[in-house]
Amino acid sequence: MRKKLIANMLTAFAAMVMTVSIQGLKAEAKIPTSLNEYFATKGDAYNNLDEVEKAKYDLICQTLSGGSSMKSIPGYKVDTIYSQAYQYDHPVIEDEISVIPSVVGSNDPNNCECLIMRKDTYWSHVEPTIQKACQIVSGAQGTPHEKAKYLHDYLVSNVTYDTTTANCATAYGALIEGKAKCTGYADAYSLLCQIADIPCYRAQSRSHAWNVLKLEDGQWYEVDCTWDDETPIIYDYFLITTEQITDESHTRTLYSKMVPIAYGTQFKYVTPEEEKKEEEEKKEETEVTLNGLLFSLEDDTAELCYYEKEKATVKIPNFIEANGKKYKVTSIADYALEGNSKLKNVVIGANITEIGEGAFSNCKNLKSVDMKNCMAKTLPKSLFKGDKKLTKVLLNGKCLKTVKGKSFSNVNKKCNIVIYGSKKNSKKVMKAIKKQGLKNFKLK
């Protein structure tokens, strides 16, 4: 498991342990004992540098942790990323590192030097910021993506966007003063995620800063707490892909170009409202109501499931159209039209190959059923059970092979059965129906 940034600090030096209690939960938060110790540590961004850049990163560590008041690295170019890497590994630091022209008055952006300034007064900010971050993380429970949401919601709920205060660009401003601009939000979120053992970088453009983090699926996700800071909280920029955040404000610059591209989609946050909408849309995609009949859809076929409106005549079509495509109606579900009190006539389409048990049962006014074009091979159990006014049934003797027991249970015994097709097969069907008490047959 990836070691926490704060834990990494302590592998090379002593640390104090502060126990904090949040909502009855206790957590041991390890705090560096001095500014020197914090400045000496190296994080994940260091590992992404080449050997030359690492050497310059090391010089920053040595300068800031060694107590030097000022040191410069000549030959600094604006696209060099070691200073950015150091700052991303240390989201609590403020303006110890800056870029100045190597030649006074020079406007050449590629002829600059990195100026490292040691300001011990910042320890008064570093210590309380890390302590506060540890307290916040103590309340984050569950999986990494659940913790990421908790930390996102904490910042959005407790920080006010502000560009006027002295510390608005820092994690201190966000976590201690509750006021920050985008860089303050981003550095605070990086620090919180690092302590929560969630790999996290600050990404930045020329005008904005946000975060990219890695979750338990091994994928990277974009998070912009600043742009989600609305009332109520929104999640438009929480756990999304880089492709979804390609506006000008999120065009990466400098070291941000080395921050991993976010492709993760598994943990994209869905609000309760969106989840309900997706469920409804999914339902709409798999079910459709046409002419008062409810059909379920699967692949390229449809099944008649139920009636939503009672009608005297029901014609089951060969095809239906929904979702911009055509579906072949191949089956009738169990008890699909059962109990339809207004139903008098049923015509079954030529693509029906399967009819469910009791599909037309207990329809007290049903008089005729036309199945002469139906391709079903079996009349199921209780198909016409209780249809006491049934007077005519037309069957397809070419396809029909089996008549289940009680298919015609408790129907009008004077019902006329007309069987179309092969006389040899039709006689077998007639014989099976006769066993159920019907006597009026005609073979065509």
User: Residue 273 — φ and ψ, nearest 5°?
Assistant: -65, -45
Cα 280 to Cα 239, 277, 284, 286: the distances in Å are 23, 5, 6, 10
Query: Residues near 232 by Cβ (< 8 Å), separated by ≥ 6?
Result: none
User: Within a 10 A sphere around the Cβ of 106, how many other Cβ atoms?
Assistant: 12
Tokens 């914090």 correspond to 38
Report d(CA 411, CA 369) in Å as an integer.
13
- Nearest one of 225, 197, 198 to 211, comparing CA atoms: 225
pLDDT digits (tens, 9 = 90+) for 163-210: 999 999 999 999 999 999 999 999 999 999 989 999 998 998 989 999
pLDDT of residue 236: 93
Mean per-residue pLDDT over the chain, rounded: 83
pLDDT digits (tens, 9 = 90+) for 3-59: 343 434 333 322 333 333 323 223 333 456 677 777 788 887 888 888 988 888 888
Q: Are 418 and 390 in contact (CB under 8 A)?
A: no
Burial of 59 (0-12, 13-18, 19+ CB in 10 A): middle
Helix locations, 262-324, DSSP H:
272-286
User: Which of the two residues, 285 and 112, has the higher pLDDT score?
Assistant: 285
pLDDT of residue 374: 94
**Residue 79 token pair:** 């696209």
**Sorting pLDDT into bands at 50, 70 and 90, what band is 82?**
confident
Percent of the chain with pLDDT over 90: 52
Query: Residues near 114 by Cβ (< 8 Å), separated by ≥ 6?
Result: 56, 60, 72, 73, 76, 80, 83, 97, 98, 99
pTM here is 0.58
Tokens 């940034």 correspond to 5
**Residue 440 token pair:** 């009026």
Tokens 């391709």 correspond to 375
Tallying the residues shown for the chain, one arrives at: 444
Report d(CA 150, CA 185) in Å as an integer.
14
Mean pLDDT of 289-301: 92
